[in-house]
């Protein structure tokens, strides 16, 4: 069967708008090693994710399309992708923020290394938390659901018809507050244990003043934090899945509230 490789101007314009939407999503999408790709090749990732959506390209609104209108539509599509990417990135930042709460108290704040995603100097525990959350993002299949909803949004919210509502902005702010809550939930058990260790060593030093307990504080906290983090790995996975379902609910709300039912 012959394949028609010719595109009309309308199809190329719609493809450009969908590409703008996917490019906004890829800015915040937690793909491990994405920043290690040369900058000249990164747009190809968004381009590769746009091609499978060609069959969902809707017809553009029946109006005279000018250069100014096309720029405004591209900015709107980019805003839509950034909105989705930011919501997904909250899931990763919850783990990184929780690790930052723990780093100084557990003694990991004294060690740092190069973050492979940003090439910046960062704490060891934060990098491990970011890598763990990024791997869970793919292990739990969340990436498939995100891309499926993005494909559904192209049908329900055609390019050039997206508008940010006050309810959407309030829901996104609510996700930000939930991110802080999740980070606190991840860090509080270990912070409570570290506080008990400090109190126990302080009481022991008060009873036996001749004991030199200060050299024991640092290794005791390191060993206790490693043990507890290993035991809580399963709980962290459940917290990740719970927050991920809340983010998916937000994204479905954006699609269903802003778009017409798919026919």
Summarised one tens digit per residue, pLDDT across range 36-63 is: 666 666 677 777 877 777 677 666 665 6
Residue 88 in contact with residue 247, Cβ under 8 Å? Answer: yes
Long-range contacts, stretch 113-121, CB < 8 angstroms, 24+ apart: 116/32, 116/33, 116/35, 116/36, 117/32, 117/33, 117/34, 117/35, 118/35, 119/35
pLDDT for the residue numbered 1: 46
State yes or no: pLDDT of 18 exceeds 70: yes
pLDDT for the residue numbered 258: 57
Q: Tokens 């968004």 belong to which residue?
A: 46
pLDDT for the residue numbered 211: 65
The residues near 151 (Cβ < 8 Å, ≥ 6 apart) are: 52, 53, 56
Given pLDDT bands bounded at 50, 70 and 90, which one contains residue 159? confident
Q: Report how far apart, in Å, the C-alpha atoms of 127 and of each of 9, 31, 85, 86, 225 are.
A: 46, 14, 20, 19, 16
The vertex-217 CA angle with 215 and 222, nearest 5°, equals 115
Q: Report how far apart, in Å, the C-alpha atoms of 168 and of each of 106, 174, 175, 234, 254 are.
A: 38, 10, 11, 32, 7
pLDDT for the residue numbered 260: 44
The mean per-residue pLDDT over the stretch 91-101 comes to 86
State yes or no: pLDDT of 10 exceeds 60: yes
Tokens at 236, concatenated: 């962290």
Tell me the longest C-alpha to C-alpha distance in the chain: 89
- Collapse the DSSP code of 135 into the 3-class scheme (helix H, G, I; strand E, B; otherwise coil) and give the result: helix
- Entry pTM: 0.75
Given pLDDT bands bounded at 50, 70 and 90, which one contains residue 195? confident
Q: Which residue has the higher pLDDT, 55 or 6?
A: 55
């Amino acid at each position: 069967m012959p394949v028609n490789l010719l595109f009309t101007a309308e199809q190329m314009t719609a493809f450009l708008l969908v590409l703008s939407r996917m490019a906004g999503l890829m800015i915040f999408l937690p793909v491990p090693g994405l920043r290690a790709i040369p900058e000249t090749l990164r747009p190809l990732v968004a381009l590769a994710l746009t091609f499978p959506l060609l069959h969902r390209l809707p017809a553009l609104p029946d109006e005279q399309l000018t250069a100014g209108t096309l720029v405004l539509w591209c900015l709107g599509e980019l805003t839509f992708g950034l909105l989705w990417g930011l919501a997904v990135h909250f899931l990763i930042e919850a783990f990184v923020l929780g690790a930052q709460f723990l780093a100084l108290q557990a003694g990991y704040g004294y060690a740092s290394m190069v973050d492979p995603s940003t090439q910046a100097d960062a704490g060891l525990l934060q990098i491990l938390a970011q890598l763990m959350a990024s791997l869970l993002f793919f292990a739990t299949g969340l990436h498939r659901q995100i891309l499926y909803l993005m494909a559904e949004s192209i049908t329900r919210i055609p390019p050039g018809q997206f508008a940010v509502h006050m309810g959407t902005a309030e829901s996104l702010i609510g996700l930000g507050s939930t991110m802080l809550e999740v980070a606190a939930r991840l860090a509080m058990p270990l912070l409570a244990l570290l506080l008990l260790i400090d109190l126990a060593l302080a009481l022991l030093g008060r009873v036996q003043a001749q004991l030199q307990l200060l050299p024991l504080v640092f290794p005791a906290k390191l060993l206790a934090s490693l043990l507890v983090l290993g035991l809580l790995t399963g709980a962290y996975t459940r917290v990740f899945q719970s927050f991920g379902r809340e983010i998916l609910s937000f994204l479905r709300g954006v699609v269903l509230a802003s778009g017409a039912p798919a026919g």
